[in-house]
Amino acid sequence: MALQFRTLLPMALAFALVGGCKAPAPAEDTQIETVPIPSGAPQEIDELDAIVLGAWADYPRPNESEWPTEPLSFRRWATASAELACAGRAFLGDPHKQRAASDRILHHHHTNAQEVMEFGIRLNEDPRRAQSSGGLVAEAAERCR
Protein backbone atom coordinates (compact mmCIF):
# COMPACT_ATOMS: atom_id res chain seq x y z
CA MET A 1 0.00 0.00 0.00
CA ALA A 2 2.80 2.44 0.89
CA LEU A 3 4.46 1.62 -2.41
CA GLN A 4 1.34 2.60 -4.33
CA PHE A 5 0.95 5.83 -2.32
CA ARG A 6 4.53 6.91 -3.00
CA THR A 7 4.23 6.00 -6.66
CA LEU A 8 1.02 7.93 -7.20
CA LEU A 9 1.89 10.94 -5.03
CA PRO A 10 3.37 13.18 -7.75
CA MET A 11 0.41 12.64 -10.05
CA ALA A 12 -2.11 13.10 -7.24
CA LEU A 13 -0.44 16.37 -6.25
CA ALA A 14 -0.41 17.62 -9.82
CA PHE A 15 -4.06 16.67 -10.33
CA ALA A 16 -5.15 18.30 -7.07
CA LEU A 17 -3.22 21.48 -7.75
CA VAL A 18 -4.22 21.87 -11.37
CA GLY A 19 -7.81 21.11 -10.42
CA GLY A 20 -7.62 23.88 -7.82
CA CYS A 21 -6.53 26.44 -10.38
CA LYS A 22 -9.57 25.75 -12.57
CA ALA A 23 -12.12 26.40 -9.83
CA PRO A 24 -14.60 29.11 -10.74
CA ALA A 25 -13.98 32.44 -9.11
CA PRO A 26 -16.47 33.22 -6.36
CA ALA A 27 -19.12 35.83 -7.08
CA GLU A 28 -18.39 39.34 -5.84
CA ASP A 29 -21.08 39.22 -3.17
CA THR A 30 -20.25 35.72 -1.92
CA GLN A 31 -18.82 35.56 1.57
CA ILE A 32 -15.89 33.17 1.87
CA GLU A 33 -15.28 31.75 5.30
CA THR A 34 -11.83 32.56 6.61
CA VAL A 35 -9.82 29.45 7.39
CA PRO A 36 -6.49 29.18 9.13
CA ILE A 37 -3.72 29.31 6.58
CA PRO A 38 -0.47 27.42 6.86
CA SER A 39 2.35 29.19 8.60
CA GLY A 40 4.47 31.05 6.07
CA ALA A 41 1.75 31.26 3.42
CA PRO A 42 1.43 34.76 1.99
CA GLN A 43 -1.84 36.61 2.37
CA GLU A 44 -1.95 37.57 -1.31
CA ILE A 45 -0.67 34.73 -3.46
CA ASP A 46 -1.50 36.56 -6.69
CA GLU A 47 1.32 39.00 -6.02
CA LEU A 48 4.03 36.35 -5.79
CA ASP A 49 6.71 35.96 -8.39
CA ALA A 50 6.67 32.87 -10.56
CA ILE A 51 8.11 29.70 -9.06
CA VAL A 52 11.68 28.99 -10.10
CA LEU A 53 12.17 25.28 -10.59
CA GLY A 54 15.40 23.71 -9.44
CA ALA A 55 17.39 21.08 -11.29
CA TRP A 56 15.16 18.43 -9.73
CA ALA A 57 16.38 15.67 -12.06
CA ASP A 58 19.91 16.21 -10.72
CA TYR A 59 19.16 16.41 -7.00
CA PRO A 60 21.35 13.91 -5.14
CA ARG A 61 19.93 10.61 -3.99
CA PRO A 62 18.91 10.91 -0.34
CA ASN A 63 20.52 8.97 2.45
CA GLU A 64 17.52 7.36 4.17
CA SER A 65 19.15 7.71 7.60
CA GLU A 66 19.65 11.45 7.11
CA TRP A 67 16.33 12.96 6.07
CA PRO A 68 15.87 16.17 8.02
CA THR A 69 12.52 17.88 7.80
CA GLU A 70 11.69 21.51 8.43
CA PRO A 71 8.32 23.26 8.54
CA LEU A 72 7.30 24.13 4.99
CA SER A 73 7.15 27.70 3.80
CA PHE A 74 4.74 28.55 1.02
CA ARG A 75 7.59 28.96 -1.46
CA ARG A 76 9.16 25.57 -0.59
CA TRP A 77 5.75 23.87 -0.76
CA ALA A 78 4.98 25.43 -4.15
CA THR A 79 8.39 24.61 -5.60
CA ALA A 80 8.34 21.03 -4.29
CA SER A 81 4.78 20.54 -5.61
CA ALA A 82 5.71 21.81 -9.07
CA GLU A 83 8.85 19.68 -9.17
CA LEU A 84 6.85 16.61 -8.07
CA ALA A 85 4.44 17.28 -10.93
CA CYS A 86 7.41 17.49 -13.32
CA ALA A 87 8.75 14.16 -12.07
CA GLY A 88 5.31 12.61 -12.41
CA ARG A 89 5.12 13.66 -16.04
CA ALA A 90 8.71 12.79 -16.87
CA PHE A 91 8.50 9.28 -15.48
CA LEU A 92 4.86 8.45 -16.14
CA GLY A 93 4.57 4.68 -16.37
CA ASP A 94 7.86 3.99 -14.57
CA PRO A 95 7.03 3.80 -10.86
CA HIS A 96 10.63 3.13 -9.80
CA LYS A 97 12.05 6.22 -11.51
CA GLN A 98 9.07 8.28 -10.39
CA ARG A 99 9.50 7.22 -6.77
CA ALA A 100 13.26 7.85 -6.86
CA ALA A 101 12.75 11.33 -8.31
CA SER A 102 10.05 12.09 -5.73
CA ASP A 103 12.37 11.03 -2.92
CA ARG A 104 15.16 13.28 -4.25
CA ILE A 105 12.78 16.24 -4.54
CA LEU A 106 11.28 15.80 -1.08
CA HIS A 107 14.71 15.33 0.49
CA HIS A 108 16.06 18.41 -1.29
CA HIS A 109 13.24 20.52 0.14
CA HIS A 110 13.65 19.01 3.65
CA THR A 111 10.12 17.66 3.72
CA ASN A 112 8.11 14.51 3.14
CA ALA A 113 5.02 13.56 1.16
CA GLN A 114 2.65 13.86 4.08
CA GLU A 115 3.74 17.42 4.91
CA VAL A 116 3.40 18.52 1.28
CA MET A 117 -0.09 17.03 1.06
CA GLU A 118 -1.24 18.52 4.38
CA PHE A 119 0.07 21.99 3.48
CA GLY A 120 -1.77 21.84 0.14
CA ILE A 121 -4.98 20.65 1.77
CA ARG A 122 -4.92 23.58 4.20
CA LEU A 123 -4.35 26.03 1.34
CA ASN A 124 -7.23 24.49 -0.61
CA GLU A 125 -9.71 25.14 2.20
CA ASP A 126 -10.01 28.72 0.93
CA PRO A 127 -11.29 28.75 -2.70
CA ARG A 128 -9.43 31.95 -3.63
CA ARG A 129 -6.19 30.70 -2.12
CA ALA A 130 -6.67 27.31 -3.85
CA GLN A 131 -7.12 29.00 -7.21
CA SER A 132 -4.12 31.30 -6.78
CA SER A 133 -1.71 28.74 -5.36
CA GLY A 134 -2.85 26.01 -7.76
CA GLY A 135 -2.40 28.33 -10.72
CA LEU A 136 1.09 29.30 -9.60
CA VAL A 137 2.14 25.65 -9.25
CA ALA A 138 0.45 24.62 -12.52
CA GLU A 139 2.27 27.39 -14.44
CA ALA A 140 5.60 26.21 -13.06
CA ALA A 141 4.80 22.57 -13.85
CA GLU A 142 3.94 23.51 -17.45
CA ARG A 143 7.44 24.92 -17.92
CA CYS A 144 9.04 21.53 -17.27
CA ARG A 145 7.35 19.82 -20.24
Residue 141 neighbours by CB under 8 Å, 6+ apart = 14, 17, 18, 82, 85, 86, 89
Cβ 74 vs Cβ 41: under 8 Å:
yes
Q: Report how far residue 49's alpha carbon sits from residue 38's, in angstroms, rounded to the nearest whole number.
A: 19
Mean pLDDT in residue range 35-54: 62
At 72-127, the pLDDT tens digits run 988 899 999 999 999 999 999 999 999 999 999 999 999 999 999 999 999 888 88
Cα 91 to Cα 48, 80, 95: the distances in Å are 29, 16, 7
pLDDT at 40 over 50: yes
Task: State the pTM of this model.
Answer: 0.68
**The predicted structure's pLDDT at residue 32:** 36
Please work out, in degrees rounded to the nearest 5, the angle formed at the alpha carbon of residue 47 by the alpha carbons of 39 and 130. Answer: 55
**The predicted structure's pLDDT at residue 49:** 73
Cβ 102 vs Cβ 14: under 8 Å:
no
Q: Report how far residue 50's alpha carbon sits from residue 139's, in angstroms, rounded to the nearest whole number.
A: 8
